[in-house]
Amino acid sequence: MRKLLCLVLALFAAGCSAPPADASDGFADDRSVIQIVSTNVQGKNVYIPGTIVVTAGKGQTLQIYNTTDVPHGFSIAGLGIEEILPPKTEHEVKLSGLEGGNVHHIHCHLHPAHRSGTLLVLRGE
């Protein structure tokens, strides 16, 4: 069931293209930068996308743009990441040494009642 969920999410993230023939062994990801927006939509504070899918074994950078007028947090406790996103600015977070098959909770540590998301790490090739 977990592999099926990972495959569905990977297909969605890849624009619904067909997976490689050996997808059961791992996933390929040619992105080095993933863009995220921290914003307010009709009174709800959110990260867009709310689920970030990456592949293990490759360093990647999250470029997070905070569109609001106040600072917000970006925390992935399982990876030791805790950043402050200044208002109206873009901030980079480097991801490296990720282990495949893990799901990490993302949240705003400055305002814990809002802004949460998920980082899904697929096994690499």
18, 113, 115, 119 from 110: Cα distances, Å: 40, 9, 10, 19
Say yes or no to pLDDT of 11 above 50.
no
For 35-93, the pLDDT digits (tens) are 999 998 988 888 999 999 998 987 899 999 999 999 999 999 999 999 999 999 999 99
| Torsion-angle region of 101 (φ positive above 0: left; ψ -120 to 50: alpha; else: beta) | left
Residue length of the chain? 125
Q: Which helix (H) or strand (E) holds 92?
A: strand 89-95
Which structural domains are found in the chain, ordered by start? 2-122 (2.60.40.420)
Does the pLDDT at position 4 exceed 50? no
Q: From the CB of residue 4, how many other CB atoms can be counted at a distance below 10 Å?
A: 8
